[in-house]
Amino acid sequence: GDGEGKRTWTGLSFQLDDLREGVKRLLECGGELARPLDESGEEELHLAMCVDPEGNEFMMTQRRDH
């Protein structure tokens, strides 16, 4: 289709039991992180902005109390 001709956010997200494992699998399958993970240690890791091999953007999250 012709679409709008610009990229837009879909709002698709997945909640995982283990976000680090999810990011590892994403990278193994050819995906990328849209933004680097916050590894400062100030907060527990709970959100990853991702891009699949076809360029679709999505989020992976982990409950903060997990």
Distance (Å) of CA 36 to CA 4, 13, 57, 65 = 28, 17, 14, 22
> Is 47 in contact with 54 (CB distance < 8 Å)?
no
* Confidence (pTM): 0.74
The pLDDT value given to residue 43: 66
| Class of the CATH domain delimited by 13-62 | alpha beta
Q: pLDDT for 1-55, tens place per residue?
A: 566 777 666 689 999 999 999 999 999 999 999 998 877 766 677 899 999 999 9
Domains of the chain, residue spans: 13-62
